[in-house]
Amino acid sequence: MKTKKLLFVGLVAVLFAVWGITSAVLAAEQEAANRAEAKPETQLFASLGPTGGATDVFHVICPAGTVRLQADVQDTGGFDGTRISVFVSDAGGNPAIGATAPDAGTSATVAAVGGAGSYTVSFFKSSLGTTESYNSIIYCRNSAGAFINPFAIVSVQAQ
């Protein structure tokens, strides 16, 4: 009798362990799927030349359903005193909204509200010196706040 009881308790423990592991695996898979679907984006890797005021300009087209475009900039050039800024504006002529990354850091996310269509995203370097590398995440968002992939990002000016 004790053997049957011990076997039953052992079997129940194994079932709970398997159920717990399976639940954890399924939860991790679901979380990974949610992250993959939750934020379609375009990551841009570029650099600004050695001249002071070097500026890269990109034309971004957001699809139907877009309410705004968002972007940030990460200074990947290291701790060298050079600052990189990002500016976004819509085709309606509204003023550009900008943010500056701290040295070797990431800027705040900036947004331009303009609906579906054309936006301009510019990156500006503050000082003379060596070429400064950066990256940026650019994406469109709808009225519910969901992320939408841009149709196109075209380099208009690269310095």
Q: What are phi and psi for residue 51, nearest 5 degrees?
A: -75, 145
User: What's the rounded Cα separation, in Å, for the pair 102 and 105?
Assistant: 5
Domain identity same for 71 and 134: yes
Q: Is residue 18 domain-shared with residue 48, that is, in the same domain?
A: no
Where is pLDDT greater, at 7 or 137?
137
| Mean pLDDT, residues 108-117 | 92
- Whether residues 105 and 70 share a domain: the answer is yes
On whether both 89 and 110 belong to a single domain, the answer is: yes
Tens digit of pLDDT for each residue in 120-150?
999 999 887 788 899 999 989 999 988 888 8
- In 3D space, the residue among 87, 150, 147, 159 whose CA is nearest the CA of residue 116 turns out to be 150
Instruction: Identify the pLDDT of residue 26.
Output: 45
Q: Is 145 helix (H, G, I), strand (E, B) or coil?
A: coil
Does this model's pTM top 0.75?
no
Give the chain's domain count.
Answer: 2
What does each C-alpha distance from 134 to 33, 66, 69, 81, 84 come to in angstroms?
A: 28, 26, 19, 14, 8
How sure is the predictor about 2, in pLDDT bands with cuts at 50, 70 and 90? low
Same-domain status, 120 and 57: yes
> In this predicted model, what pLDDT tens digit does every residue of 89-98 receive, in sequence order?
998 877 788 9
Q: pLDDT at position 19, please?
A: 41
Question: pLDDT tens digits, residue range 12-56?
Answer: 443 344 344 445 544 545 444 444 444 556 787 888 888 888 899
* pLDDT over 60 (residue 59): yes
Give the per-residue pLDDT at 10. Answer: 44
Check residue 70 and give its pLDDT. 93
Q: What is the pLDDT of residue 40?
A: 56
pLDDT at 27: 52
For residue 62, give its domain range: 42-157
Same domain assignment for residues 33 and 69: no
